[in-house]
Amino acid sequence: MSAELEELYQEVILDHSRRPRNFGELPNATVRVHGDNPSCGDEIHLAVRFEPDDSLGEIKFTGHGCAISQASASLMTMKLKKKSREEASTMLRAFHDLIVGQSETVPPDFGDLRLLQGVRKFPQRVKCAMLAWRALEQAMQLDAGESTVSTEVD
């Protein structure tokens, strides 16, 4: 990344970790997933309300951990709220490939999410950035109820 992007990355991560968006309880959630990243101590409680048309009507989270895990969760909820499952799955795959370095292609609708690709240089931080996304993946598989997911189990 260029120095300019690097700076923007720091700024966005800090902003989202200090003031996470969609942070809080979601009383009428259809699915709740607790995501755990023991290698860093990050925790995310993700709550999703699926709409009758199967879109992700509402996504909220609570949790604590490093700036990257919380910022990634915040950015994810902003980006995936109101999306269809298909759009969410596509974005999930693209995000994964981007931050593990499997792809250089940033989808045009990624916005600030693209900045998280900076973590690819730090394999331990990839787990932090993926935590919320793994929880979301689990939520979509589960459809209803509660579950847990850990970055230590693939």
Residues of this chain that interact with Zn ion (CB under 5 A) are: 40, 42, 66, 69, 128
CB of 16 to Zn ion, least distance (A): 14
CB of 66 to Zn ion, least distance (A): 3
Work out the burial of residue 142: count CB atoms within 10 Å of its CB; fewer than 13 is exposed, 13-18 middle, 19 or more buried. Answer: middle
Helix (H, G, I), strand (E, B) or coil at 15: helix
CB of 117 to Zn ion, least distance (A): 16
Find all residues with CB under 8 Å of 130, minimum gap 6, and list them: 72, 96, 99, 151
Indicate the residue among 41 and 111 with the shorter CB distance to Zn ion: 41
CA distance 126 to 114: 14
CA distance 15 to 52: 34
Indicate the residue among 47 and 63 with the shorter CB distance to Zn ion: 63
Indicate the residue among 69 and 117 with the shorter CB distance to Zn ion: 69
CB of 28 to Zn ion, least distance (A): 29
Q: Are 127 and 40 in contact (CB under 8 A)?
A: yes
Indicate the residue among 40 and 140 with the shorter CB distance to Zn ion: 40
